[in-house]
Amino acid sequence: MRFFNFKEEINDDTHFVIFGIPWDYLTSTDLPNSSITPDSIRNITDDIGFTTELGFHITNFQAADIGNVEIIPTSVELNIRKIDTFLKEIYTGNEDIIPIMIGGDHFCTYPVVKAVGDQIEKKEEFGVLIFDAHLDFYQEWDKGVYSHATLSHRIFDLEYINNKNLIIVGARDIDIEELNLANSENLKFLNAYHIIDGIDYYIDKIKEFYHKSNIKKLYVSIDIDALNPSIAPGTGYAIPGGFSYREMWKILKEIALSFNVVGFDLVEVAPNLDLENRMTLILAVKLIIEFMDFIRRSKL
Ligand SMILES: [Mn+2]
């Protein structure tokens, strides 16, 4: 089972490497089952047309799907190390490869961002863009410092990440403690209610933010709950007021054209909460494949 017909092996021509992290131990409800998502997403690619919306043949992507990281659900520190090793192997022999991670809960993003950031020589050019209904900025959550609710705080704690190169977009479900924490650190986030001002608001603000600090290389993390639950019902925390598919499509297109996207992920899809027609899984596949096409075009 592979993502579309991508090959399993990385070779000299490989541009994108897809892999899954089937891990949802650090979510904070018993409802979602995002550990089955990487394979559910691969499965559904059989039912989706083999072209992107702009007409690129998916068979022509120079991409590999190398499977899943082997996870032992409760072994948090061990999994973090395993994910790091997995990423380092991807980069062996080709440091320009663009890793694409399918989660898993949002915590899966932390070890991936760290591995991607660690191998970038000019750290001052590196930025992280997170789409999320939540800030995930708690210092600790039910299972400790590592949780899907502390994700962006752990990223923020990386020595090369700060309030000038990390931005969270689509926020609309923030607790008081978390808001106070975010404000005290001057964490940059864009609220979802600006959608009523038109999608260019986000494109302009995101570009302005990164240009101000001279960021050129971006890691992008997409929590599916950044999108509106009317189109993404299959997730643990369905918060109203998110982006439409087309709005997200447009933002991703502009981001890919304006920055060098060095990796991205899609997390928090829960197939067990999806509708029978699997619309959240299809949305996830479309976002991945469209973003890949935008990134490919930006490098032509
Ligand atoms: Mn979220």
Mean pLDDT of 40-54: 97
Instruction: Please check the confidence at residue 219 and state whether its pLDDT lies above 90.
Output: yes
What is the C-alpha to C-alpha distance for residues 217 and 300, in angstroms, rounded to an integer?
17
* pLDDT bracket for residue 31 (50, 70, 90): confident
Express each pLDDT in 154-185 by its tens digit.
Answer: 999 999 999 999 999 999 999 999 999 999 99
16-298: CATH number: 3.40.800.10
Rounded-to-integer distance, Cα 243 and Cα 133, Å: 10
179 CA → ligand 1 middle, Å = 15
Percent of the chain with pLDDT over 70: 100
pLDDT at 26: 84
d(CA 139, CA 66): 33
Arithmetic mean of pLDDT over the chain: 96
Q: Which two tokens stand for residue 257?
A: 């054209």
Cα of 172 from ligand 1 centre, angstroms: 10
**Alpha-carbon gap, residue 230 to 283, rounded angstroms:** 12
Say if residue 32's pLDDT is above 90.
no
CA 238 to centroid of ligand 1, rounded, Å: 9
Provide the pLDDT confidence category of residue 216 given band limits of 50, 70 and 90.
Answer: very high
Give me the amino acid identity at 58. I
Contact 206, 259 (CB under 8 A): no
Give me the residue label for tokens 């018993």: 30
pTM (2 d.p.): 0.97
Mean pLDDT along residues 49-65: 97
CA of 38 to the centre of ligand 1 (A): 18
Give the type of residue at 218: L
User: Do residues 270 and 278 make contact, with C-beta atoms less than 8 angstroms apart?
Assistant: no
Q: Is 298 exposed, middle or buried (0-12, 13-18, 19+ CB in 10 A)?
A: middle
- How many angstroms separate the CA atoms of 30 and 45, rounded? 27
SS3 label, residue 110: helix
Residue 237 CA to ligand 1 center (angstroms) comes to 7
H-state helical runs in the chain:
37-44, 76-91, 109-118, 151-157, 176-184, 200-212, 245-258, 279-298
pLDDT band, very low/low/confident/very high, at 280 (cuts 50, 70, 90): very high
| Rounded distance from Cα 178 to ligand 1 centre (Å) | 13
- pLDDT at site 300: 78
Mean pLDDT of 56-70: 97
3-state secondary structure of 131: strand
Residue 103 near residue 34 (C-beta atoms within 8 A): yes
Q: Tell me the CA–centroid distance for residue 83 and ligand 1, in Å.
A: 21
Each residue's pLDDT tens digit, 85-126: 999 999 997 889 999 999 999 999 999 999 999 999 999 999
Report how far ligand 1's centroid is from the alpha carbon of 157 (Å).
19
Give the pLDDT of residue 142: 83
Domain ranges of the chain: 16-298
Q: What are phi and psi of 131, to 5 degrees?
A: -95, 125
* Residue in 231, 236, 253 with CA at minimum distance from that of residue 147: 236
Task: Return the minimum-mean-pLDDT range out of 147-151, 152-156, 232-236.
Answer: 147-151
Instruction: pLDDT band for 149, please (50, 70, 90 cuts).
Output: confident
* Residue 190 alpha carbon to ligand 1 centre in Å: 14
- Does the structure show a pLDDT above 80 at 28? no
Residue 43: pLDDT over 80: yes
pLDDT above 90: residue 66: yes
What is the Å distance from ligand 1's center to 134 Cα?
Answer: 5
Ligand 1 centroid–CA 11 distance in Å is 35
Using the mean position of ligand 1's atoms as its centre, give its distance from the Cα of residue 118 in Å. Answer: 25
Confidence of residue 218 (pLDDT cuts 50, 70, 90): very high
Q: Please measure the distance between the N-terminal and C-terminal CA atoms of the chain and give it in whole angstroms.
A: 30
Q: Average pLDDT, stretch 217-232?
A: 98
* CA 76 – ligand 1 centroid, Å: 20
Residues in contact with 208: Cβ distance below 8 Å, sequence separation at least 6, in sequence order: none
Mean pLDDT over 262-276 rounds to 97
User: What mean pLDDT do residues 197-214 have?
Assistant: 97
Residue 222 CA to ligand 1 center (angstroms) comes to 9
